[in-house]
Amino acid sequence: MAVGGRTDVFAGLRPEVPDALARHLHDVDLIDHHVHGAFTVGIDRAGFEAALNEGSTDPVPAFMSQFDSPLGLAVRRWCAPVLGLQPLASADEYWLRRAELRPADLSERFLRAAGVARWVVDTGFLGDRITTPEEMTSLSGVASSSILRLERLTEDLIEAGASPKDYPEALRAALDDAVADPHTVGVKTIAAYRTGFDVDWSRPADTAVVQSAARQGQRPARVDDPVLIAFGVHEATARGLPLQIHVGFGDRDLDLHRTDPLLLLPLLRAMAPVPVLLLHCYPFQRQAGYLAQAFDNVNFDVGLAINFLGPRSPSLVAEALETAPFAKQLYSSDAFGPPELHLLGSVLWRRAMGLVLGEWVRCGDCTEADAIRIVDMIGVRNAERVYGL
């Protein structure tokens, strides 16, 4: 059921979650520090179900449905009421109701129900099919900021005709523009998809960058040269821009074993000490927690995986809270495409935090006031500090 326009995530769990903590988790307006846009185009059921699978780019096999997954259960449980259906309405009922609404209507419903005060949007992928930060603001009624994807910036410069010898200065000029843009609050690298983390992260000389740009210019502009990627990272962080790094869980384009964040130790020891945001991190959430404890500038989230774990997401949140200081963790949904994911990231995180911290309160490990303060740090304050919002 919806309460005050938001989903009551603690219905039936009041003994497990103390009242004041439950009320605060219901009411707090989150900062989604890493998110993508929602679909602006209509999709059929096959397309919708495919968007509920992070790993595969193949059509869903005929013998199964993505509704029969932890994420599919979460959609039926928490998204159905937003469409006027009973919780856990059947997959067919859900799809028939959803298909009656335009993409903009769906986005407005789910984005406004998420209880988010600001979206920090990565605009680097499928920009012609998903909402821009400005459209996110219009549909949700709250502010949006932007994250600049470094590999997309490099590809844009090469596609625009930057010559290899001019490329280093062209990238520096583009990053100077990003620093001057008040809407851009950070940068992101998807080295996990392009090279893995087990590469040379030392800052390359311009001569090496020019040579790599010449080689890259002879291939389609999908940047996978570690020299160009390292150059972008070092130039961006030298300008003080917070750096987001995709870690772990993602589609099958990446080699998961090469995205363990411990492989980033050479970079963390060599780069400018700007805020680093390790994104998603599953199944490396404990390694990310160690790095957040060991390096003053390292922060992390467990977004994306929370949605895909669905009912099991409290276990992931509990592991994220094991070692890392609470001031080093942030909330994100990493929602992309179906606006249901923008809502679910918020709902499942609130529910998981309530269940985990509620147990701490019941066991006498912290006070209810402590638990509320932890929620505010991870859900809001840390993002405000890291991005200067």
Q: Among 275, 380, 264, which Cα is nearest to 326's?
A: 380
CATH architecture for segment(s) 19-41+102-387? Alpha-Beta Barrel (3.20)
At 1, is the pLDDT very low, low, confident or very high (cuts 50, 70, 90)? very low
pTM to 2 decimal places: 0.94
Residues 80-116 pLDDT 10s: 999 999 999 999 999 999 999 999 999 999 999 999 9
Phi-psi region of 202 (alpha: psi -120 to 50; beta: other; left: phi over 0): beta
**Average pLDDT across the chain, whole number:** 93
pLDDT above 60 for 2:
no
Beta strands (DSSP E) in 248-307 are 276-280, 298-300
pLDDT above 60 for 328:
yes
- Report domain extents, the chain: 19-41+102-387
pLDDT above 80 for 355:
yes
At 3, is the pLDDT very low, low, confident or very high (cuts 50, 70, 90)? very low
Contact 322, 286 (CB under 8 A): yes
Residues 239-297 pLDDT 10s: 999 999 999 988 888 899 999 999 999 999 999 999 999 999 999 999 999 999 999 99
Residues 246-255 pLDDT 10s: 999 888 888 9
pLDDT for residue 329:
98
Residue 364: other Cβ atoms inside 10 A: 7
pLDDT above 80 for 126:
no
The arithmetic mean of pLDDT across residues 128-150, rounded, is 95
CA–CA distance, 292 with 14 (Å, rounded to integer):
32
Residue type, 349: W
CA–CA distance, 256 with 357 (Å, rounded to integer):
30
At 125, is the pLDDT very low, low, confident or very high (cuts 50, 70, 90)? confident
Comparing 4 with 234, the larger pLDDT belongs to 234
Query: Of 9-23, 111-125, 238-252, 358-372, where does mean pLDDT reach its minimum?
Result: 9-23
DSSP 35: E
pLDDT for residue 294:
96
Q: Among 153, 111, 107, 104, which Cα is nearest to 333's?
A: 111
The arithmetic mean of pLDDT across residues 166-188, rounded, is 96
pLDDT for residue 56:
58
pLDDT for residue 57:
66
Residues 52-75 pLDDT 10s: 987 556 777 888 899 999 999 999
The arithmetic mean of pLDDT across residues 232-242, rounded, is 97
Contact 75, 67 (CB under 8 A): yes
At 4, is the pLDDT very low, low, confident or very high (cuts 50, 70, 90)? very low
Q: What are phi and psi of 316, to 5 degrees?
A: -70, -45
The arithmetic mean of pLDDT across residues 311-333, rounded, is 97
* C-alpha pair distances (Å), 371 with each of 137, 195, 288, 363: 30, 40, 22, 12
For the chain, how many residues are written?
389
pLDDT for residue 59:
77
pLDDT above 80 for 218:
no
pLDDT for residue 55:
53
